[in-house]
Amino acid sequence: MAQAKLTIDLDALVANWRALDALTQGETAAVVKADGYGLGLAQVARALAQAGARSFFVAIAEEGAALRRILGEGPEIFVFAGHMEGDTALLAEFSLVPMLNSIDQMVRHVEGLPGAPFGIQLDSGMNRLGMEPAEWQSLRDVALELGPRLVMSHLACADEPDHPMNRAQLATFREMTDGLSAPRSLAATGGVLLGPDYHFEMTRPGIGLYGGAPFDDAQHVVTLDVPVIQTREIAAGETVGYGNSWTAEAPARIATISAGYADGLHRIMGPKISVHADGVPCPVRGRISMDLIGVEITHLEEAPAHLRVLGAHQGVDDLAEAAGTIGYEILTALGPRYVRRYSRT
């Protein structure tokens, strides 16, 4: 079988949620948008709910509806995009809580679903989603009379603990929300690690649950093993892959594995990563193509049946660094051709 295997350790996922939960005094929610960061919404959300998570965040109402079908009644599901046109029926049918981002959304929600739960998202300086201070000031009294379930904002630079933006946003958020009776939330994973000043009544970790930075103490969650389709001996001076981008300086043995940029292993990574055979690094040779990658295994005693791309020796942030991106993108780009396996002890 040429299909690569992606193994998701649900025990590690749960351990990461519990570790972040232990750092705070309030409620710890879980962000499961983008199909549980590419790892499978159903399996991820069920494991976290069984561990004790009672609040979940998704990006759009359609994700919320899918999550409600998975979890059933009980857990609260917040929708970052708020109440968009066309969302009213979904929000009502699946008991979703839109995080309202503007006066227009507030009007739409109150008129379309009078009495239905909602939250408020404020812009404390990121300029992405949320009501700006002046907009919030004009709406604040009316919104508070209706009883929002949550008032939140989002930090722009939480993965850089010393960045002055963190303190600036914290001050702005406090100015906008001090004195409210509604629960507040400012911290995702990076904010949790910034300390208690940022925690408020709810934190909402995402990437840290899945083993990514900036949660350096996170347990490893994702392993990717890719089958070797073919091995070949090449002579000094021969090349590997498109564009003749790698030339053998001495006789070499090359394994071709069945994954590529169509599976989220970006072409730019090639010269900077190795894959592993029982912990032994094997360098990528030539360009990563759509479905195949060449790997040098000259130094191995035997040709392996598969090689490990993601694992304890090379995590999502290592791949991200090689690709000039972030772990979030690596996880959410992992393609649909992988067979996904979920492990629990």
The residues that are catalytic are 33, 242
The CB-side HSE value for 18 (13 A sphere, CA atoms) comes to 12
Centre a 10 Å sphere on the Cβ of residue 313 and count the other Cβ atoms it contains: 15
CB 91 within 8 A of CB 116: yes
Rounded to whole angstroms, how far apart are CA atoms 184 and 153?
8
- Helix H or strand E encompassing 280: strand 280-283
CB 232 within 8 A of CB 253: yes
Strand 5-9 to strand 339-343: parallel, antiparallel, or no bridges (unpaired)? parallel
| The Cα angle at residue 321 between residues 316 and 326, in degrees rounded to 5 | 65
Task: Answer whether the bond into residue 214 is a cis peptide, omega within 30°.
Answer: yes
Rounded to whole angstroms, how far apart are CA atoms 205 and 207?
7
The CB-side HSE value for 243 (13 A sphere, CA atoms) comes to 8
| Lookup: tokens for 105 | 């959304």
> Among residues 314, 235, 335, 215, which one has the least CA distance to residue 269?
314
CB 100 within 8 A of CB 79: no
Which residues make Cβ contacts (< 8 Å) with residue 179, sequence separation at least 6?
Answer: none
Rounded to whole angstroms, how far apart are CA atoms 161 and 213?
13
